[in-house]
Structure 1
Amino acid sequence: MKSKEWVVTMGLSTRGGVPFEQAKPTNYRNAIRSASFSVLLSVAWLVPGAPVDAQQYQFNSVQINGNERIGDAAILRQAGISRGQRVSGGQLNDAFQSLQSSGLFETVEIEPRGGTLVINVVELPTVNRVRFEGNQRIKDDALGALVETTERRVFNPAQAEADAAAIAEAYSADGRVAARVQPRIIKRNQNRVDLVFEIFEGDNVEVERLSFVGNRKYSDRRLRRVLGTKQAGLFRRLVRRDTFREEQVDVDKQLLRDFYLSRGYVDMRTTAVNGELTQERDGFFVSYNITEGQQFKFGAIDLVSEMPNVDAAAYRKIVKVRPGAIYSPTIVEADIARLERQAIRDGVDFMRVEPRVTRNERDLTLDVTYVISRGERVFVERIDIEGNTTTLDRVVRRQFDSVEGDPFNPREIRQAAERIRALNYFETAEVNAREGSSGEQVVIDVDVEEKPTGSLNFGGSFSSSDGFGVAISFAEENFLGRGQRLALTVSTASEATRYGLNFVEPSFLGRDVALGLNIDYAETSSSFASFDTNRLIFQPSLAFPVSENGRLQLRYTAEEIEVLERDPIEHGLTIADDIAAGPQWSSAIGYEYTYDTRRTGLDPTAGVLFQFSQDFAGLGGDSRFIKSVGRVTGEKRIFNEEVTLRATLEGGALAWMEGNSRVVDRFVLGPSIIRGFEPGGIGPRDVSGTADDPLGGNLYVAARFEAEFPLGLPEEYGISGGVFYDVGNLWDLDDVNFNGGDIQGEGGSFRHVIGLSLFWETPVGPLQFNVSKALKSEEFDKEQSFEVTLRTQF
């Protein structure tokens, strides 16, 4: 600030929205106090030793000094005094208080002088500008929306203090409870002032420790994984989820309750949440006091119908839950959804299903009876959507199974609200129902707040196959507000360069059908082979659900692959033929069926993923083949969900219908299928030249078994351990013209590998370090005892 400017400090400093230290008295406050003291002395001097109301005054004239913007008549009306009116000392005091509380004057003095009443005022200045200094985390526009002090209005010190508290509260909600906001005024000419909010943002107040009291079944480590709030870890500068925010506490309490309910603990309660600020005010210790209660299982399951046109026996077959399973409200909700969907297919309107639960304390079971009854005859009048400035209405509207004119179903509306939130397009999304134009009509109000959905990422990459590289990617999850996903990727590694475009329309033609388009171009120069490859893929697809857990994808794939000679070396005869063939392209139609119970299964601690795909090439192109791949993975968490067991079985078959296949057509196994070997390290090899190249195979099978467990390290490190056992085989070259080459491993044999894993959760993704030892291998195999990969999640 310039030295000629007069700076007046006012009000209270605020810290986290709460006053924490008294500022020095300001000039205008001293003037107010002195004015008040002056008028009281004047009244007391005029009538010493007598009650104030006993003295009467009558003024023939009123003299007002110091007012510039406010007229004399307005001041008199505010004071409540008229010329010639008889007033008492108490009324004079009331006039002073009325003028002072009007918010128009910095100081007020009232002095009787015989038959003249003299009123001296100093008007409060007008606000010339409102500025913010020191703010980086929250921009000026956002802060301006928080304050009520505006330019060209009368300056109000109390409002300025309230505005400072509002700013500090905003920083506190963002995890910066140590933020301080100091309002200051800079006097200008013509009785104007600039109001400056000096902001000290401070650091984020991190969650140093999350602990639990009363948990017996599950450890603190397991429960921390449930919460949205995370402890401060090694990468606290890059991860914001470790910032303490009070509004997240209620969300975390609900997450805890949902976790316990899904595991049968129906009496679980969070009795208290205690947060203690560290002495340095840079961290919180948060403790959840919980009561777990007993675990309940499903007892007797029944279904009855109170609707004469609904056969209970037919609907009873739809219920999937069985006695003895761990109780979960999610399972009950899924059964109700299936029953009501079947009612719609049967043309039964307004059918409602109510679960009636009977508690059996002796054997800790819950009997559930599904009661089918007729609901109220209420229709959806309309769906109103507000707050979506970018996202089109139809993107939100298609999350509803109900449309205008359909029977109103509260359960469907709740599920639609969850789907809207799951889009992750909105900061907040509230869905409420209210009465419409009549008692039989309901209006659904959807109130959303947009948030950014695009991302531009720059980063490094490393893989055992491609080496180190740089990756640039752009992704927009809500392209042009249409709910479409667009992703562009460019990655350059020492042994591979890839360019990719991926586009998905999740609701093609307004139906639950995903239209996808994938274009990918890759150039590889692998150190594990003596040749290079260029590959271009064009693949449109359609995907849609075929059952509650099943989904089918139909696709067309046009692919051009070329095998290139890297150096003029002596290649094996088989690889030399592949190079001589030049670019070859295939045209194939195919499908992939996926069955996934990880989210909708009856057991929240287990899940199964099954995938099977086939591609049929021969619709033009140079290749005719049938390629089949299948995979099934199962996962189970044991020992109170501290240890995760995982098993995978997969295999593939390539049936070549015409001509000879090439190495780029056949299966080549890498560490993602069987660990302990280089990419292409097992299976048939051409050793007729000096290159010793992998040839791949037409058939493969592999099984992987692994266990993941904590290592006892501080959880904020994000490090856990694991062990694994892999077994696999790759064989068959029936459609290859060897030209007299020296081929090894065509018949195949099973390789066995054991190893240790280290998992590390980092901001760039979950890294996996593997140390392995091949228990059984062939002499020509290429082993790899250590590898680093970006971990793939089941």
Structure 2
Amino acid sequence: MDNLAVRAGAQLFKSAKRASFVLALIGLGGAAIAQSFAFNAVNIEGNRRVADGTILTFAGISAGEALSAAELNDAAQRIRESGLFETVEITPVGRTLLINVSEYPTINRINIEGNARIKDDQLLTLVRSEPRRVYNPAQAEQDTTAITQAYAQQGRVNAVVTPRIIRLPDNRVDLVFEVVEAGVTEIERISFVGNRTYSERRLRLVLDTKQAGPLRSLITRDTYSPERIARDRELLTDFYRSRGYPDFVVQNVDVGLTRERDAYLVTFNVREGQKFSFGNVSIRSEMPGVNAAEFEEALRIRTGATYSPVPIETDISRIERLAQRRGINFMQVDPVITRNDRALQLNVEYVLRPGPRVFVERIDIEGNGTTLDRVIRNQFRVVEGDPFNPREIRESARRIRGLGFFQNASVDAREGSSPSQVIIDVNVVEGPTGSLSFGANFNTDTGAGLLASYRQSNFQGRGQRLNFQVSTAEANRRLSFGFDEPQFLGRDLNFGFDLSYKTTDNENALYDTETFRISPSLGFPVSENGRLAVFAAYEFTDLTDVADRASEIIRQEAAQGTVTTGSLGYSYSYDTRRTGLNPNAGVLLRFGQEFGFGDAEFIKTTALAGAETKILNEEVTLRATVEGGSLSYQESSSRVTDRFFLGSRVMRGFEAGGIGPRDAETDDALGGNTFAVARLEAEFPLGIPSEYGISGGAFIDYGSVWNVGETFGQDVLYDEATPRTVAGLAILWDTPIGPLRFNFTEDLDSQERDRPKNFDVTIQTSF
């Protein structure tokens, strides 16, 4: 290997060329320098690939022309700038001009050595030097910079890339880029200057960039990325402005390296401004024939509420939808905001104005190699020929990104075939949408088990969801299949089909169960935050392997054999946690009923009401939930396969079936036809750096399950609504495999034959 560094080589070549030309001029004597030189012949030496005429063309001189020393120097420089020659010497010899050149070698091949983190094929796409082309040190230096930047984007800012050439016969070289990758330069600290309302910990949770933590090998957001920092500026601005700070601005972001150059220090300099609330909210029409009072029903903002641009956008969307329902097109809604700095209020006036008469000419979609066009088009509420609404197009872009099918999605509008028409361009970059996994799991209710699952959220590019799962644990085995079509019949109508088969091996009971259920469903929105689903179901259940010493109630229920039922039902949900006007509070309501027929006629009713809010500058989350259910039979009676059992998801601090009615003799858990539970909890920081993803919690659960129904003359314990109370502490850990929750509990009020447990591990859920 020549070990000739390109940067040093290029500099030496320039110095040598200048020196040789100056010496040649000195050889002419002082008079030659001051006087012009004319020649009638040119002799070119050293060139093999480049023709004499080409070199003369580069020089830009011709025989008989009188040239000064400066002009000869310019001619040499022009030849040099062609990038084809290592050295160029122009020497006047009598009436002959001697041009001596040394050609750059031809690149035989290009190699990259020392790289492990980035593969050859990825790095070679950055290299603009090419085999069988003339070697150019300046281009090799640019290639070096490109490779170095690729490592810097991965956080390896100390990576060193050295270009070297290996001399070969016939004026050829191998170009080798030697890479020393170095370690990842992580973000050691993210700090804030100018924040008064929110702590650094709270603001770090807003950012996509994270500080270096113990999971750095799995989480790559702790490496520095200019694009991610730019996104963080937007996230911080959205966070503050949605909480009443319209004047918030990120003044600048300082990014520096530690003295050892092994970590970044990132500082966001912010100006919060003052907190504002909404003042007067009104609506005015400048459109002929349009009465503003007819649109007041669409307004939801109330005076005194914390200012946020989100409810303004929501109000405008409601006004526009109401206008469309009333056949009013090309109406433009402009929010006019006036400040009252003394009262710290912002007055909002919606002005209805005539908008430009522009129509959608067509929608062009590019980049979707797998996803069908109709899946993307379904996210638009407009079609070709409809009036153009920029706000609706922005909402469509948001819905396309919300599908989760694409790594990137952009929606832009441009002028069409005439000024009154626009073309909507949709450009997407598809990402992975499926997963196949094999593994093990553990649940304190069912024990350890094996799991195999397949999930696809964009099945065959149709936007359909498909999942298949097989699991086996110490206490149960389950097979489930689910399919969802979110745009059934081309509408906002979700068609679902679910199938499940489950068997249990109750180690703590004297019987086993077998259940098969198949259920198609349809779901659709009924309001901005409300959704209704209707379903049908076919189910059979059986009690198997009933021991002779089992409860008489269990034996009598098993004697009924396989019970087959059909059912029809509905469920309604109302959720403001993500779409409500208050970003720090939300409400969830669920209510459903199932009406059974066949071997058993029943009505099953379930309900849940939950609310959560954030306090203390959003560092503490308070949550309250009330949940209950009732099962009533007309002519027959419920069985143990039908009744409610309170697992750790509903009532913490007890084993599965650990509370509720029990057979007085065998101690078999019998479940109940009615249950009710109230849960109160708080989540709070533990003072551990946020990048660890660990926080704390405290909770108290109060509830019970009761009412076995038919007892066949047997004594049943705790068949009344005897409440239990459990208090506990929790550690919440946001891990790469999901949010885990470790509960440490103490039963404050329980019954003698209950089965409490002081520790369990579950997946964290909100409600």
* In structure 1, distance between residues paired with 2:452 and 2:258: 40
Return closer, same or farther for 1:140/1:522 CA change in 2, 3 Å cut-off. Answer: farther
Q: Is the 8 A contact 1:598 1:608 kept in 2?
A: yes
Q: Which amino acid is the alignment partner of residue 763 of structure 1?
A: P
SS in 2 for 1:247: helix
Q: Is the 8 A contact 2:91 2:99 kept in 1?
A: yes
Identify which of 259, 277, 282 aligns with 1:279: 259
Q: Is the 8 A contact 2:731 2:743 kept in 1?
A: yes
1:18 matched to which residue of 2? none
1:158 matched to which residue of 2? 138
C-alpha deviation, 1:40, in angstroms: 1.8
Name whichever of 197-206 and 577-586 sits farther off: 577-586
Q: C-alpha offsets along residues 722-772 of structure 1, whole Å, 9 cap, x if unaligned?
A: 2211111211122x3x34433222223111222222222222222212222
Identify which of 679, 700, 704 aligns with 1:725: 700
Identify which of 631, 637, 647 aligns with 1:654: 631
1:604 matched to which residue of 2? 583
Q: Which amino acid is the alignment partner of residue 569 of structure 2?
A: G
Name whichever of 300-309 and 512-521 sits farther off: 512-521
1:17 matched to which residue of 2? none
SS in 2 for 1:521: strand
* In structure 2, distance between residues paired with 1:577 and 1:316: 63
2:286 matched to which residue of 1? 306
Matched, 1:688 2:665: yes
Identify which of 550, 553, 556 aligns with 1:577: 556
* In structure 1, distance between residues paired with 2:170 and 2:207: 57
Q: Is the 8 A contact 1:32 1:108 kept in 2?
A: no
Q: Is the 8 A contact 1:596 1:609 kept in 2?
A: yes
C-alpha deviation, 1:350, in angstroms: 0.7
Alignment root-mean-square deviation, CA: 2.2
1:669 matched to which residue of 2? 646
* In structure 2, distance between residues paired with 1:211 and 1:421: 30
Matched, 1:345 2:325: yes
C-alpha deviation, 1:53, in angstroms: 5.5
Matches within 5 A, 1:115-130: 115-130=95-110
Q: Is the 8 A contact 1:528 1:679 kept in 2?
A: no
SS in 1 for 2:210: coil
SS in 2 for 1:33: helix
Q: C-alpha offsets along residues 464-510 of structure 1, whole Å, 9 cap, x if unaligned?
A: 11112343433333333222223333333333333333332222222
Return closer, same or farther for 1:53/1:476 CA change in 2, 3 Å cut-off. Answer: farther
Identify which of 50, 59, 63 aligns with 2:40: 59
Matched, 1:34 2:16: yes
1:16 matched to which residue of 2? none
C-alpha deviation, 1:562, in angstroms: 3.1
Q: Which amino acid is the alignment partner of residue 509 of structure 1?
A: L
SS in 2 for 1:694: coil
2:718 matched to which residue of 1? 745
Q: Is the 8 A contact 1:466 1:526 kept in 2?
A: no
Matched, 1:627 2:604: yes
* In structure 2, distance between residues paired with 1:525 and 1:282: 55
* In structure 2, distance between residues paired with 1:282 and 1:740: 76
Q: C-alpha offsets along residues 144-187 of structure 1, whole Å, 9 cap, x if unaligned?
A: 33222223222221111111211222222233322322222233
Matched, 1:594 2:573: yes
* In structure 1, distance between residues paired with 2:479 and 2:6: 59
Identify which of 712, 737, 758 aligns with 2:687: 712
Q: Is the 8 A contact 2:662 2:717 kept in 1?
A: yes
Percentage of matched positions with identical amino acids: 51
2:298 matched to which residue of 1? 318
Q: Is the 8 A contact 1:53 1:90 kept in 2?
A: no
* In structure 1, distance between residues paired with 2:161 and 2:440: 40
Identify which of 428, 431, 448 aligns with 2:408: 428
Q: C-alpha offsets along residues 528-574 of structure 1, whole Å, 9 cap, x if unaligned?
A: 433333333323222211110011122222333333327x5621122
Name whichever of 577-586 and 466-475 sits farther off: 577-586
1:21 matched to which residue of 2? none
Q: Name structure 2 gaps, 5 residues minimum.
A: none
Return closer, same or farther for 1:190/1:332 CA change in 2, 3 Å cut-off. Answer: same
* In structure 2, distance between residues paired with 1:67 and 1:379: 65
2:118 matched to which residue of 1? 138
Name whichever of 485-494 and 266-275 sits farther off: 485-494
Q: C-alpha offsets along residues 200-249 of structure 1, whole Å, 9 cap, x if unaligned?
A: 33333322222212211111111111111122222121122222211111
Q: Is the 8 A contact 2:205 2:690 kept in 1?
A: no
2:616 matched to which residue of 1? 639
Return closer, same or farther for 1:137/1:389 CA change in 2, 3 Å cut-off. Answer: farther
SS in 1 for 2:634: strand
Q: Which amino acid is the alignment partner of residue 350 of structure 1?
A: F
1:215 matched to which residue of 2? 195
1:71 matched to which residue of 2? 51
Q: Which amino acid is the alignment partner of residue 57 of structure 1?
A: A
1:15 matched to which residue of 2? none
Using structure 2 for the length normalisation, give the TM-score.
Answer: 0.95
Return closer, same or farther for 1:280/1:478 CA change in 2, 3 Å cut-off. Answer: farther
Return closer, same or farther for 1:30/1:300 CA change in 2, 3 Å cut-off. Answer: closer
Q: Is the 8 A contact 1:148 1:163 kept in 2?
A: yes
* In structure 2, distance between residues paired with 1:278 and 1:470: 46
Return closer, same or farther for 1:587/1:185 CA change in 2, 3 Å cut-off. Answer: farther
Return closer, same or farther for 1:700/1:472 CA change in 2, 3 Å cut-off. Answer: same
Q: Which amino acid is the alignment partner of residue 5 of structure 2?
A: M
Q: Which amino acid is the alignment partner of residue 353 of structure 2?
A: S
Name whichever of 609-618 and 696-705 sits farther off: 609-618
* In structure 2, distance between residues paired with 1:610 and 1:564: 37
Return closer, same or farther for 1:598/1:81 CA change in 2, 3 Å cut-off. Answer: same
Q: Is the 8 A contact 1:475 1:487 kept in 2?
A: yes
Return closer, same or farther for 1:503/1:66 CA change in 2, 3 Å cut-off. Answer: farther
* In structure 2, distance between residues paired with 1:249 and 1:714: 20
Q: Is the 8 A contact 1:629 1:652 kept in 2?
A: yes
C-alpha deviation, 1:94, in angstroms: 2.1
Matches within 5 A, 1:349-388: 349-388=329-368
* In structure 2, distance between residues paired with 1:455 and 1:484: 14
Q: Which amino acid is the alignment partner of residue 201 of structure 1?
A: E
* In structure 1, distance between residues paired with 2:33 and 2:561: 111
Q: Which amino acid is the alignment partner of residue 525 of structure 2?
A: P
Q: Which amino acid is the alignment partner of residue 616 of structure 1?
A: F
* In structure 1, distance between residues paired with 2:486 and 2:114: 44
SS in 2 for 1:225: helix
2:307 matched to which residue of 1? 327
C-alpha deviation, 1:792, in angstroms: 1.3
SS in 2 for 1:369: strand
Q: Which amino acid is the alignment partner of residue 374 of structure 2?
A: R
Q: C-alpha offsets along residues 655-697 of structure 1, whole Å, 9 cap, x if unaligned?
A: 22343322111111111111121111111112433xx221111
Matches within 5 A, 1:433-582: 433-565=413-545, 570-582=549-561
Q: Name structure 1 gaps, 5 residues minimum.
A: 1-5, 13-24
Matched, 1:415 2:415: no
* In structure 2, distance between residues paired with 1:502 and 1:189: 67
Q: Is the 8 A contact 2:619 2:684 kept in 1?
A: yes
Q: Which amino acid is the alignment partner of residue 250 of structure 1?
A: A
Q: Is the 8 A contact 2:361 2:385 kept in 1?
A: yes
1:754 matched to which residue of 2? 727
* In structure 2, distance between residues paired with 1:218 and 1:332: 24
2:152 matched to which residue of 1? 172
SS in 1 for 2:73: helix
Q: Which amino acid is the alignment partner of residue 4 of structure 2?
A: T
Identify which of 223, 237, 240 aligns with 2:217: 237
* In structure 1, distance between residues paired with 2:612 and 2:71: 83
Q: Which amino acid is the alignment partner of residue 30 of structure 2?
A: G
Name whichever of 280-289 and 604-613 sits farther off: 280-289
Identify which of 571, 580, 593 aligns with 1:614: 593
SS in 2 for 1:368: strand
* In structure 2, distance between residues paired with 1:122 and 1:625: 97
Matched, 1:9 2:4: yes
* In structure 2, distance between residues paired with 1:426 and 1:164: 32
Q: Is the 8 A contact 1:685 1:693 kept in 2?
A: yes
